[in-house]
Amino acid sequence: MTTANQSIKPVTAKINQDEHIEIGGCDLVSLAEKYGTPLYVFDEETIRTIARQYKTAFSSYPKISMLYASKAFMTKAIVRILDEEGFGFDMVSGGEIYTAHTAGADMKKCLFNGNNKSYDELQMAVELGVGLISVDNFLELALLNNVAKSNNKTIDILLRVTPGIECHTHEYIQTGHLDSKFGFDLTQVDEAIELILEQYDNLNLVGLHAHIGSQIFETSVYYDEVEVLLKEISRIKEKFNIELTHINLGGGLGIKYVEEDCPPSINEIADKIITSVKENAAKYGVQEPEIHIEPGRSIIGTSGVTLYTVGSSKQVPKGKKYVAVDGGMADNPRPSLYQALYTAEVANRPNDKATETVTIAGRFCESGDILIHNAKMPELNEGDILCFYNTGAYGYSMSSNYNRVLKPAAVLVNNSQSDIIIDKESYEHLVSLDRIPDRLKKQL
């Protein structure tokens, strides 16, 4: 059984009677005319469909907690949708904590994660009642204990560990191998536990947390990750006479960006994880733990598309043809950072046959600002609307104002209705935080 992460397009995508691409019952050409481009478009039905597919896939296991990985894309509207679907939130900054809180998320179902949390961020997490904090290092243990003590609270924590599992993703998005900036090495776990038991009275260790990477296409790594954590829990039980009750496996399930991509279904990884928990809990003599899963990209990636308007073009003599759009590396840096691949179609005439191979270039002042190399397209004209699929994850969340270009708007579509969930920036907003020292002010 396939799940929505295995599709390039949102579940509601179709060609309508005007022969335009439509998502969520909304004509993409009309959205481009109404809101301008570049434009991020998110399909609510796809978000909810994938969230429910996760819950269904893990429904046979009684102790499961779903945490949306907020770093992929987080706004108040996205928080509301996933809160309604029963998800908590994996948060990695004060900004994400504040967004979840102000949008009405159940903070007890949330986790604060990250490798260099500040004192102020930890203070905010404790004050707002974040349910779990995943502690990454020795400094954080001391900081968090001080924060908890000053608030007269005992905080449930996980220890984030590096399990030594290397999956075949881009090296920049591998996080579970031994040479990593994240988490305690397994050889450091005992020292951390001794500190918690002997000095840090305001910390209550309940489990272990690991994350093995992003855009993962292998299922076996999830089995191995569970085994590493349960074996470690068994060792801790034997040495310290405490039995940890939670494992957080992170997220990382891949999605289908191009036809050649073959990510596993949500059901496949659920089966692998549940099987591993049951087999390895029995093998190592520990209770079956509460499992935390942190899907981000696999929920929001397929749910989002980005619309661009075609501008200039350039045919290099005896070389490539470049077609420029009105966005690029500032609204989607992934092609420049990771050599990420995307699929695009002409939203205003998707039935036209591809007749040429072009390089789709961004508008920014960098030679590396290329969105797609060797894209097979119909002949593109100025004013055509391009729809880039699977841009919901790490597009807006990694965007910038490079070249002082305004960040685009984001809209949510559902049942033929479109709603702004992030306003397009204005020039006034762009300069609103700028300050001119008095000595530089122009004398009138």
Active site residues: 365
Q: Are 64 and 88 in contact (CB under 8 A)?
A: no
In sequence order, the β-bridge partners of residue 247 are: 208, 291
Q: Round to the nearest angstrom and report the end-to-end CA distance of the chain.
A: 71
CA dihedral 292, 295, 296, 302 (to 10 degrees): -160
Contacts of 228 (CB under 8 A, 6+ apart): 163, 164, 165, 210
Whether a cis peptide bond, with omega within 30° of 0, leads into 38 is yes
Which two tokens mark 115? Answer: 């490798």
In the block, residue with structure tokens 């559902």: 414
Report d(CA 406, CA 100) in Å as an integer.
Answer: 25
Among candidate residues 325, 317, 300, 305, the one with its CA nearest the CA of residue 375: 325
HSE, CB side, 13 Å, CA atoms: give it for residue 385. 26
Which two tokens mark 135? Answer: 């502690």
Whether a cis peptide bond, with omega within 30° of 0, leads into 350 is no
State the helix-helix crossing angle for 44-57 and 76-84, rounded to 10 degrees: 40
Report d(CA 398, CA 326) in Å as an integer.
Answer: 18
Q: How many CB atoms lie within 10 A of CB 318?
A: 5
Among candidate residues 389, 429, 390, 386, the one with its CA nearest the CA of residue 407: 429
DSSP state of 253: B
Report d(CA 227, CA 275) in Å as an integer.
Answer: 10
